[in-house]
C-alpha cells in the first residue's frame, strides 16, 4: 500500500498577496545592463485534475520558479505560480503525491498571463467534465499565452483552441489525439510547438523545454540559460528536435522481433547497398513479399527505415566530431550532402549544421 504524500507548492495566504498588475500585451524587457528585467509579475496558472502526471506540472513549474532566482530577475518576482483544479483542495497525482490547489474560480480572480494545462492519464476522465473544458475555452481568451504539457493537449483541443493548428503531445498518444480531434494537425516529433500564443509540449520532461522557451521570450537568453544551468538540463534543445528516437520507434513497432537481426545489420552497414532487393536477399525472401511483410510489421517501408537509421547515425557524427558535412554524408550512406540535408529536414526538422551548433562537442572545420 502506497501512502499518499501531500505537496503544497504555495500557501493560500500567498495567493491573496497583492502584486503588480499584469497588462496582457506587455512583455518584460531586458534592461540595458543585461542584469535585470522590468518588474512585471506574471501569473502562471497550471490546471490540474486527479491522475495528472506530477512532472508535467512540477517540471515547468520549477523552471518558472528558478527564473525568479536568476541574476537577471535582480531580486524581483517575475513569476507568480498558481496550481488550480476544478474544485480546489488536494489533487492526487499519478505518483500518489497530493498537490494543494485553488479552485478555478479563485484562479481567475486576477488576470492570468500564462495558462498551462497539464497532462496525465487522468485527462480522459477530465474530458468528461464539461465545466472544466468550458472554463479553459472561456478563460483562455484573456491570457497572453495558453499551453499544454504532454496529454494536456487533449483538453485544449476539446476546448476548440487547436482547430486548424499544429500541436504535439506524448508520442504514445499521437494517434489517439488525431483520431479524437481530426481538425488538429498532430505532430509526433517536436519537443514543443508554438502557434502564435498557443504552445504545446511533448511527453513529460519536454514541459521544461517549453518553459525555458517562454522564459527566454520574457526575460532573454541569459536568464533562460541560468535556469537551465540551475536545473542541470540542456539549453536548448530545438523545438524541432525529435522527442523519441526514430530507431527506437522502429524497434518498438516491430514487437515480434522478426527483423531485429536485419536492423542490427543495417546499422552496421550504412554505406552498403541497402536497397529492398539486397535486404530481401538477406532474409531469403522475394522483394515484394519482404516489402509487404516489413510494412505490415513496422508500419513503414524498408527504405524509410534505412533513411531513419542513416539520419540517426549522422546525428551522432555531427554531435561528436568535427568532420565536414560531406564526410558525414559519405560515412552514413548518403550519396551527397544535399540528400543528407533533405533527409535531416524531414526527420529532425532542422538543418544538419543547426543540429551541430546546438549539440556539437567540436566545431566543424569545413562544410
Query: Side-chain half-sphere of 197: how many Cα atoms within 13 Å?
Result: 14
Residue 238 located in a structural domain: no
Q: Are 201 and 255 contained in the same domain?
A: no
37 beta partners = 30
User: Which residue range forms the structural domain that includes residue 56?
Assistant: 5-231
Residues 6+ apart with CB under 8 A from 359: 315, 318, 319
Give the whole-angstrom CA distance, residue 28 versus residue 129. Answer: 35
117 beta partners = 47, 148
Q: Tens digit of pLDDT for each residue in 321-342? A: 899 999 999 999 999 999 999 9
204: CATH = 3.40.50.880
Q: Are 127 and 272 contained in the same domain?
A: no
Give the whole-angstrom CA distance, residue 57 versus residue 50. Answer: 12
Provide mean pLDDT across the span 43-59.
97
Could you give the number of structural domains in the chain? 2
Q: Tens digit of pLDDT for each residue in 84-103? A: 999 999 999 999 999 999 99
Give the whole-angstrom CA distance, residue 296 versus residue 299. Answer: 6
Q: Are 200 and 271 contained in the same domain?
A: no
Residue 365 located in a structural domain: no
Cβ contact 77:62 at 8 Å? no
Percentage helix, strand, coil, to 5, in the chain? 45, 15, 40
Q: Tens digit of pLDDT for each residue in 264-318? A: 899 889 999 999 999 999 999 999 999 999 998 888 899 999 999 999 899 889 8
Please provide residue 101's backbone torsions phi and psi, each rounded to the nearest 5 degrees. -135, 160
pLDDT for 34 equals 43
Q: pTM of this prediction? A: 0.65
Residue 47 located in a structural domain: yes
Q: Tens digit of pLDDT for each residue in 212-260? A: 999 999 999 899 989 988 998 766 454 445 555 566 666 666 656 678 8
Round the average pLDDT of the chain to a whole number and report it: 84
Q: Which residue stretches of the chain are H helix?
A: 12-16, 54-67, 104-107, 123-126, 130-139, 153-158, 174-180, 206-219, 221-231, 246-253, 260-268, 276-282, 287-298, 302-320, 325-331, 337-348, 352-359
pLDDT for 274 equals 96
pLDDT for 312 equals 87
Amino acid at each position: 500500500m502506497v501512502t499518499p504524500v501531500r505537496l503544497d507548492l504555495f500557501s493560500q495566504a500567498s495567493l491573496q498577496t497583492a502584486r503588480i498588475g499584469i497588462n496582457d500585451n506587455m512583455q518584460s524587457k531586458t534592461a540595458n545592463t543585461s542584469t535585470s528585467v522590468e518588474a512585471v509579475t506574471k501569473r502562471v496558472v497550471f490546471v490540474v485534475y486527479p491522475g495528472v502526471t506530477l512532472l508535467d506540472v512540477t517540471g515547468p513549474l520549477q523552471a518558472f520558479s528558478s527564473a525568479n532566482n536568476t541574476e537577471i530577475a535582480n531580486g524581483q518576482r517575475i513569476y507568480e505560480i498558481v496550481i488550480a483544479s476544478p474544485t480546489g483542495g488536494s489533487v492526487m497525482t499519478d505518483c500518489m503525491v497530493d498537490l494543494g490547489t485553488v479552485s478555478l474560480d479563485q484562479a481567475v480572480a486576477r488576470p492570468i498571463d500564462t495558462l498551462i494545462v497539464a497532462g496525465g492519464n487522468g485527462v480522459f476522465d477530465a474530458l468528461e467534465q464539461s465545466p472544466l473544458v468550458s472554463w479553459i475555452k472561456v478563460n483562455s481568451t484573456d491570457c497572453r499565452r495558453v499551453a499544454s504539457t504532454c496529454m494536456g493537449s487533449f483538453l485544449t483541443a476539446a476546448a476548440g483552441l487547436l482547430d486548424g493548428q499544429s500541436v504535439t503531445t506524448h508520442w504514445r498518444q499521437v494517434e489517439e489525439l488525431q483520431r479524437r480531434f481530426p481538425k488538429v494537425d498532430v505532430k509526433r516529433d517536436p519537443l514543443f510547438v508554438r502557434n502564435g500564443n498557443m504552445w504545446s509540449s511533448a511527453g513529460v520532461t519536454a514541459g521544461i523545454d517549453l518553459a525555458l522557451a517562454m522564459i527566454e521570450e520574457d526575460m532573454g537568453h541569459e536568464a533562460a540559460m541560468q535556469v537551465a544551468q540551475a536545473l542541470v538540463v540542456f539549453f536548448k534543445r530545438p523545438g524541432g528536435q525529435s522527442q523519441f528516437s526514430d530507431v527506437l520507434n522502429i524497434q518498438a513497432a516491430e514487437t515480434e522481433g522478426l527483423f531485429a537481426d536485419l536492423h542490427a545489420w543495417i546499422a552496421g552497414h550504412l554505406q552498403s547497398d541497402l536497397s529492398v532487393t539486397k535486404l530481401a536477399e538477406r532474409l531469403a525472401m522475394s522483394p515484394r513479399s519482404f516489402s509487404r511483410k516489413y510494412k505490415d510489421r513496422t508500419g513503414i517501408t524498408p527504405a524509410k527505415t534505412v533513411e531513419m537509421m542513416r539520419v540517426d547515425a549522422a546525428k551522432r557524427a555531427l554531435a561528436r566530431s568535427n568532420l565536414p558535412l560531406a564526410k558525414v554524408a559519405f560515412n552514413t550512406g548518403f550519396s551527397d550532402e544535399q540528400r543528407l540535408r533533405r533527409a535531416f529536414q524531414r526527420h529532425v526538422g532542422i538543418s544538419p549544421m543547426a543540429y551541430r551548433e546546438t549539440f556539437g562537442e567540436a566545431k566543424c572545420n569545413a562544410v
